[in-house]
């Protein structure tokens, strides 16, 4: 038992203290790190998931639209919730509000996060993180988002920490989210920004590869007041 405790303590020290520092120093001069306005970052300043989605609307507009489209708010990540992910994965039990790990943009972690479960295990799910920017369009806030598809639970190849593995085709998640919002009639309109990404492939902080066509989807949401006025009366 004592050997197991020592081994466990050693793993935690290496995975959560030593390796993140080594990986941070290794990535400090990596080309991906220069694309900060287009990539999220981990708490240890490693490149995170690429931004691929933008939303125009208030926080209420965004929450209402996502829930209407079948996406659910994700819980905040804690040690207890991290343990639950591992347990639920082993037992193949679903958790529709399973937490997402924190990623950072504009000097802070995500403001909102949503997920759409797949099947009956937290191994696989659609999820997206949003950060409110300091810019507006027609007086409405602009949010930047990173939508990815979790396809498994693994140990990070850069830090050894427990994390989700993402599918490399991040454009598919971008397109799915835009289609879900459209099907739920939550869009006033949408457009594309071509060439948003100059680097069309890379790796996130967990070591997972990703690739993109470089386009950013921009979704203009139906305002909450308009959505309420169009709601059918009982």
Model confidence pLDDT, tens digit, residues 69-113: 999 988 654 434 343 444 444 444 554 545 567 899 999 999 999
For every residue of the chain, DSSP letters joined together read -HHHHHHHHHHHHIIIIIHHHHHHHHHTT-GGGG-TTTEEE-TTS-EEEEP-EEEES-HHHHHHHHHHTT-EEPPPP-HHHHHHHHHHHHHT---TT------EETTEE-SEEEEEE-TTSTTSEEEEEEEEEEEEETTEEEEEEEEEEEEEEEE-TTT--EEEEEPSBHHHHHHHHHHHHHHTT-EEEEEEETT--SS-EEE-TTS-EEE--S-EEEEEEPPHHHHHHTSPP-
For residue 14, what pLDDT is reported? 40
pLDDT along the chain (234 residues), means of 10: 51 42 40 60 88 97 96 65 42 52 91 88 84 95 95 54 74 98 98 95 87 97 76 48
pTM above 0.95, yes or no: no
């Amino acid at each position: 038992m004592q050997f197991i405790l020592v081994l466990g303590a050693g793993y935690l020290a290496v995975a959560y203290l030593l390796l993140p520092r080594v990986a941070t120093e290794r990535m400090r001069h990596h080309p991906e790190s220069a694309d900060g306005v287009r990539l999220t970052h981990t708490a240890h300043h490693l490149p995170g998931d690429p931004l691929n989605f933008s939303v125009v609307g208030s926080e209420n507009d965004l929450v209402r639209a996502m829930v209407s489209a079948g996406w659910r708010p994700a819980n905040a990540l804690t040690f207890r919730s991290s343990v639950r992910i591992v347990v639920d994965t082993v037992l193949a039990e679903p958790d529709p509000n399973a937490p997402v790990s924190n990623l950072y943009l504009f000097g802070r972690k995500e403001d909102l996060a949503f997920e759409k479960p797949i099947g009956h295990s937290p191994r696989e799910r659609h999820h997206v993180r949003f950060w409110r920017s300091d810019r507006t369009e027609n007086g409405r806030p602009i949010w930047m988002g990173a939508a990815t598809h979790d396809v498994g639970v693994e140990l990070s190849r850069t830090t050894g920490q427990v994390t989700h593995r993402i599918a490399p085709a991040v454009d598919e998640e971008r397109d799915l989210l835009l289609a879900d919002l459209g099907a739920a009639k939550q869009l006033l309109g949408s457009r594309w920004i071509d060439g948003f990404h100059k680097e069309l492939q890379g790796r996130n902080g967990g070591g997972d590869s990703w690739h993109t066509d470089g386009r950013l989807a921009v979704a203009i949401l139906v305002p909450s007041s308009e959505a309420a006025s169009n709601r059918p009366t009982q």
